[in-house]
């Protein structure tokens, strides 16, 4: 029974990877029959492609900021809501809703709220006198990145809330009670006793979210299509553009391969850290 399972996985995972690696050595226009082997040509082009580098930096900023902010928000909320009981647990349930929402809906919603003409965010900021001029959330290069990141954090913080809540539930009662006998309370209880128990949840959650955000196509595509200019173009957006707007599958595959290697390193590092702390 294991053999067929391995075969399915090999097919499902192996085929596209191998195919992508092969494609990356070709000049391969999607819609024309004219394709040829160009060796490392795509990789050379990539090294000198400013848009690639900008997309790489954007990916790092988007992913890093989303994961760090989401993790912090989730952590604080999980600790604050830990002792909810009975019907009050409903509050936690409600706060989880964003994570269950379709990404495309999040994109629509924030696009609407960040709209420069009649968007509620600018309207409220101006009405309360916090800013005088409307912030060009989606039309200025710098603010666009802020806008998509905020939308993303809004959606993903609940994920961290969820896994931290579960991890807090896993702290053995005896440990908490022993700590109380040792007079740990409030902050020292959190920092010295509970946080260590949350480490692996944080690592696993962060890893999953890093991966997910590297791949987050729908949010950015629906909100900005990577613009204005290339200001919110992450790798996933750039690859998509290359493959399906410029139809250059060979080059887009080369970027995909580089990106896979990058993520493998990140994942390898995470697994090492996880292993280290488990043993």
Partner 1 sequence: MTTVTDTDTAAPARTYRTRRRLPIARAVVIVVVALFAVWTLWPLYWMLSTSLKTSREATSLTPTVWPHSLDGSHYTGLFTGSLPFTNYFVNSIFTSLVSALVAVLISTLAGYSFSRGGYRLNGALSLAVLATQMLPLVVLIAPLYLLLLKAHLLNTYLGLVIGYTSFGIPFGAWMMKGFFDGVPREIEEAARVDGYSRFGILFRVVIPLSVPGLVTTGVFVFMNTWNNLLYPLTLINSDQKQTLPPGLLQSFSGTFKTDWGGMMAASIVTSLPLVIAFFLVQRSMVRGLTAGALAGT
Residues 138-177 that bind partner 1 (CB under 8 A): 154, 157-158, 162-163, 165-166
Q: Among residues 144 and 239, whose Cβ is nearest to partner 1?
A: 239
Tell me the closest approach of the beta carbon of residue 186 to partner 1, in angstroms: 6
d(CA 62, CA 53) in angstroms, rounded, equals: 14
Burial readout 178-192 (b: 16 or more C-beta within 10 A, e: otherwise): ebeeeebeeeebbee
Is position 96 an interface residue for partner 1 (rule: CB under 8 A)?
yes
Tell me the closest approach of the beta carbon of residue 21 to partner 1, in angstroms: 10
* Cβ proximity of 234 and 55 under 8 Å: yes
DSSP state, 65? H
When binding is defined by CB under 8 A, the residue of 51, 61, 95, 189 that contacts partner 1 is 95
Tell me the closest approach of the beta carbon of residue 213 to partner 1, in angstroms: 11
What is the pattern of x (binds partner 1, CB under 8 A) and - over residues 203-222? -xx-xx--xx-xx-xx--xx
* Cβ proximity of 68 and 218 under 8 Å: no
When binding is defined by CB under 8 A, the residue of 55, 70, 98, 135 that contacts partner 1 is 98
Tell me the closest approach of the beta carbon of residue 201 to partner 1, in angstroms: 6
Q: Among residue numbers 21 through 80, which ones bind partner 1 (CB under 8 A)?
A: 23, 30, 73, 76-77, 80
Q: Among residue numbers 240 through 269, which ones bind partner 1 (CB under 8 A)?
A: 240, 243-244, 249, 252-253, 255-257, 259-260, 263-264, 267
What is the pattern of x (binds partner 1, CB under 8 A) and - over residues 185-204? -x-------------xx--x
Tell me the closest approach of the beta carbon of residue 38 to partner 1, in angstroms: 16
When binding is defined by CB under 8 A, the residue of 38, 61, 103, 146 that contacts partner 1 is 103
When binding is defined by CB under 8 A, the residue of 62, 119, 144, 232 that contacts partner 1 is 119
* Cβ proximity of 218 and 104 under 8 Å: yes
d(CA 198, CA 77) in angstroms, rounded, equals: 13
What six digits make up the tokens of 27? 């000049």
DSSP string covering 234-276, please? -HHHHHHHHHHTS-BHHHHHHHHHHHHHHHHHHHHHHHHHHHH
Contacting residues for 149 by C-beta, under 8 A, at least 6 apart: 61, 62, 65, 66, 69
Could you tell me which stretch among 38-46, 99-107, 137-145, 171-179 binds partner 1 (CB under 8 A)? 99-107
Burial, 21: exposed, middle or buried (Cβ in 10 Å; 0-12, 13-18, 19+)? middle
When binding is defined by CB under 8 A, the residue of 38, 176, 193, 274 that contacts partner 1 is 274
């Amino acid at each position: 029974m294991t053999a067929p399972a391995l075969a399915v996985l090999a097919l499902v995972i192996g085929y596209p990877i191998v195919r992508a690696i092969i494609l990356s050595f070709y000049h391969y226009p999607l819609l024309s029959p004219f394709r040829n082997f160009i060796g490392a040509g795509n990789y050379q082009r990539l090294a000198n492609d400013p848009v690639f580098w900008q997309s790489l930096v954007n990916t790092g900023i988007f992913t890093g900021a989303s994961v760090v902010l989401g993790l912090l928000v989730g952590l604080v909320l999980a600790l604050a809501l830990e002792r909810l009981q009975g019907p009050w647990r409903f509050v936690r349930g409600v706060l989880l809703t964003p994570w269950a929402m379709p990404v495309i809906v999040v994109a629509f919603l924030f696009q609407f709220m960040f709209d420069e003409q009649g968007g509620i965010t600018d309207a409220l900021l101006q009405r309360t006198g916090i800013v005088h001029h409307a912030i060009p959330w989606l039309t200025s290069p710098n603010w666009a990145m802020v806008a998509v990141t905020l939308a993303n954090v809004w959606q993903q913080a609940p994920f961290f809330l969820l896994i931290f809540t579960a991890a807090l539930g896993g702290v053995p009662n005896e440990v908490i009670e022993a700590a109380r006998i040792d007079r740990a309370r409030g902050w020292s209880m959190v920092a010295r006793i509970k946080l260590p128990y949350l480490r692996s949840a944080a690592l696993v959650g962060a890893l999953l979210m890093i991966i997910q955000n590297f791949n987050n196509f729908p949010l950015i595509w629906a909100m900005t299509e990577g613009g204005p200019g290339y200001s919110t173009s992450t790798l996933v957006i750039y690859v998509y553009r290359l493959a399906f707007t410029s139809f250059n599958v060979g080059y887009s595959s080369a970027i995909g391969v580089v990106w896979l290697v990058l993520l493998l390193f990140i994942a390898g590092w995470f697994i090492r850290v996880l292993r280290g702390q488990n043993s």
